[in-house]
Structure 1
Amino acid sequence: MRGRAKVGTLAAAVALAVVAALPGAAPVVVAGAHATTVAKSVPTLAGCPLFPANSAWRKDISHARVNPHSKAWVRSVGLSGHLHADFGSNPSYGIPYSVVPTSQPKVEVTFTAYGDESDRGPYPIPPKARIEAGSDRHVLVASRNCHVYELYGARRSGNSWRAASGAVFDLRSNKLRPAGWTSADAAGLPILPGLVRPDEIRAGHIDHALRFTVARTQRGYIHPATHQAGSTNSMSAPPMGARFRLKASFSLKGYHGAALIILRCLKKYGMFVADNGSNWFISGATYRGWNDDDLNQLKRVPGSAFQVVATGRIRH
């Protein structure tokens, strides 16, 4: 929770500066010796704000109305299932990404399965860009020109690339994909902005929604998602883009480190259903420095601790 405070003495300003150095504390900006402002955190990526301030990704949903289908959708994902970090110190877990300068040379990309729903290249993919382990084979690149470039089913092809689909997102815009279009993700959402990243854990706070997977989705989507990949027409299963929130009543006592930061985020910003996969699996960046013991605390959080908030109508 962050707000604004004014302090009239240098001693108080110093005290606030000390608090700001603690994990999870908000940044403190000191204007002279007579005024101290606790600034609201702005999530960034590649040196750019992570979407505009009014982006759905940055919306505080801690007090949002509960979706009428909440109980059914949580039950569908699993009341007795548990949260799980789909990333860790093992480099074969998580989704790797690259940050490149504006001068990064662009390379051609040939799209196959979803070429008619892909953003044409070229893309600024570095020669040593890492490909996600497993079948999805995502390649994610954040450019300092404030754009994110993402590929699904990516494979190198000489000096160029082939991919099942690709999408480009402008971090300065709230513009969605065209209705019905996929991206590098099944929901038509960007992937990289929804990852748990080590730089945010080091900062002590995550100020945007996260991304997670569920095994069974209905054939529909809620904005900002633009695409469905469901297996049922049943309203008892969540659609792509459904936004789950950790209940305010769920106690965080006993949690620490990365798990505590993630859980605080899930209470305030929640997480979007972004793809079909294992239930309650949260996505994070590939990083050898993850503390697996910290992340394993998430396995103590049951599905029953979540609810779904009302963020818009289901589109079919």
Structure 2
Amino acid sequence: MSGTVRARVLLAAAVGSLALGCTSTDSASTGATPAADENGAGLSTRVGSEPAPLPDTVFSVLGPWNTFADDRGVHPRSTGLLREVALGLRPGEDALLIQTWGRSVPVVTDGEPTVVRCRQARCGDGAGELLLDLPTDVDPDPRYDGWYTVVDVAERTVRDLRRARREDDGSISYELMREWDLDGPGFQQPYGVGARGSGLPLLGGLIRRDELDRGAVEHALAISLPGTASGSFLQPASSTDGTGAASSLPQGARIYLRPAFRLTRPVDPATGRPQEWTPEVQLRAMLLVRALKTYGAVVVDEAPVPTLYAERTEAGQAPLLGGDELSGIGLDDFLVVDFDPEDRLAYPADDLTDEPTDGPTDGPTDDGDTR
């Protein structure tokens, strides 16, 4: 069955199972210019190449990215925590954004042997120079966080680079590397740092092109929120860069959409009318709503507005998401998954005298909630 035919079949099934407050038409308005091919590759490599595909499930099926959001109940301060994390936002500024460029993540595999080197003395899991097979035409974007995720499917390894850039000689330099087991838990021991402020992997919770194309987003999403708690985090996070009130929602917390939530189409600012959606655009929005209701979203970082992350669209690739598909969702549409006060881990730790560089753990720890 072709991707397009399968998408239409799944759309028909999803309409009956998801409450979506919109209708679809034959013309799309996603805020992006469509390219010639709507069937994007699963990895941000050279257009037309045949990279080794990622598995449908990334990281352990028992880890935080692949377990349901509603198994612990709702936090008694759910409403207050969400209000604190949104403190300072004006009405309407908590609309959910999907980042598809800039601060989102290029996921690369295969290509030409490329020198990858660290620019400083402390490099995380990096040391000296590595020779990795990388595409020559997909670069990290140093204007933002310079995120770059390199997947070796054969070795079952993921390498996150932070503040990476392409040098004049074609090599890639970076500030920090964190290496992950593609089949591991998808988080690390407390006080380990990573490319994100929370220490969580860039691939965790990423909306990937291949899963949108096949019509299945079956994992928790990664979300950044404005005023995450300063001074503490929850596992699966292992660190935090939160700047909000100490009592605010910590990084590592999980939120999920209220079961009765109904999505409405984004409004065209020029006309004030709901945008017209193709069946494919409607399907993608519904897939994300379903994931947010079932698996929820893990708070991975801090951002000016609530933000989800999609695999970065490269030149020549079809933009499968425009970024505003979920702008009808605000923070008051979410519930906070329950956690105990003692689950909060102080950051930095009282006895932490140097920057931590612990790598990924082989499984859950006893230091906090790892579900």
User: What is the TM-score when the length of structure 1 is the normalising length?
Assistant: 0.76
Matched, 1:22 2:51: no
Could you tell me which runs of 5 or more consecutive residues in structure 1 were left unpaired when the two chains were aligned.
1-17, 27-43
Matched, 1:271 2:297: yes
Aligned with 1:273: secondary structure?
A: strand
Matched, 1:130 2:130: no
Could you tell me which runs of 5 or more consecutive residues in structure 2 were left unpaired when the two chains were aligned.
15-51, 266-276, 347-371
**Could you say if the C-alpha distance between residues 228 and 248 of structure 1 is closer, same or farther in structure 2, counting changes exceeding 3 Å?**
same
Task: Report the alpha carbon displacement of residue 164 of structure 1 after superposing the two structures with TM.
Answer: 2.1
Task: Report the alpha carbon displacement of residue 127 of structure 1 after superposing the two structures with TM.
Answer: 5.2
**Could you say if the C-alpha distance between residues 123 and 168 of structure 1 is closer, same or farther in structure 2, counting changes exceeding 3 Å?**
farther
Q: Distance in 2 between matches of 1:252 and 1:311?
A: 27
Aligned with 1:258: secondary structure?
A: helix
Superposed CA offset, 1:68-116 (max 9, x none): 33222211233852111112xxx55732211238xx7574421538x26
Superposed CA offset, 1:113-137 (max 9, x none): 8x26x11243635152421363211
Aligned twin of 2:21: none
**Could you say if the C-alpha distance between residues 232 and 84 of structure 1 is closer, same or farther in structure 2, counting changes exceeding 3 Å?**
closer
Counterpart among 139, 142, 165 of residue 155 in structure 1: 165
Aligned twin of 2:318: 289
Q: Distance in 2 between matches of 1:125 and 1:251?
A: 44
**Could you say if the C-alpha distance between residues 112 and 99 of structure 1 is closer, same or farther in structure 2, counting changes exceeding 3 Å?**
same
Matched, 1:228 2:240: yes
Q: Is the Cα contact below 8 Å between 1:77 and 1:280 reproduced in 2?
A: no
Matched, 1:245 2:233: no
Aligned twin of 1:309: 337
Q: Distance in 2 between matches of 1:177 and 1:112?
A: 23
Percent sequence identity is 24
Counterpart among 94, 98, 103 of residue 85 in structure 1: 98
Aligned twin of 2:117: 109
Matched, 1:96 2:106: yes
Q: Distance in 2 between matches of 1:153 and 1:19?
A: 38
User: What is the TM-score when the length of structure 2 is the normalising length?
Assistant: 0.65
Superposed CA offset, 1:4-45 (max 9, x none): xxxxxxxxxxxxxx999712569xxxxxxxxxxxxxxxxx96
Q: Distance in 2 between matches of 1:306 and 1:174?
A: 25
Aligned twin of 1:169: 180
Q: Is the Cα contact below 8 Å between 1:247 and 1:307 reproduced in 2?
A: yes
Aligned with 1:257: secondary structure?
A: helix
**Could you say if the C-alpha distance between residues 125 and 150 of structure 1 is closer, same or farther in structure 2, counting changes exceeding 3 Å?**
farther
Aligned twin of 2:152: 143
Q: Is the Cα contact below 8 Å between 1:96 and 1:132 reproduced in 2?
A: no
**Could you say if the C-alpha distance between residues 159 and 265 of structure 1 is closer, same or farther in structure 2, counting changes exceeding 3 Å?**
same
Aligned with 1:58: secondary structure?
A: coil
More contact order relative to length (CA 8 Å, sep ≥ 6): 2
Alignment of 1:51-62 (within 5 A): 51-62=59-70
Q: Distance in 2 between matches of 1:133 and 1:195?
A: 20
Amino acid paired to 2:203: L
**Could you say if the C-alpha distance between residues 123 and 66 of structure 1 is closer, same or farther in structure 2, counting changes exceeding 3 Å?**
farther
Task: Report the alpha carbon displacement of residue 178 of structure 1 after superposing the two structures with TM.
Answer: 3.4
Q: Which moved more, 1:224-233 or 1:54-63?
A: 224-233
Q: CA RMSD in A?
A: 3.0
Aligned twin of 2:43: none
Alignment of 1:180-219 (within 5 A): 180-218=191-229, 219=231
Q: Distance in 2 between matches of 1:179 and 1:168?
A: 16
Q: Is the Cα contact below 8 Å between 1:247 and 1:305 reproduced in 2?
A: yes
Aligned twin of 1:29: none
Task: Report the alpha carbon displacement of residue 174 of structure 1 after superposing the two structures with TM.
Answer: 1.6
Amino acid paired to 1:298: L
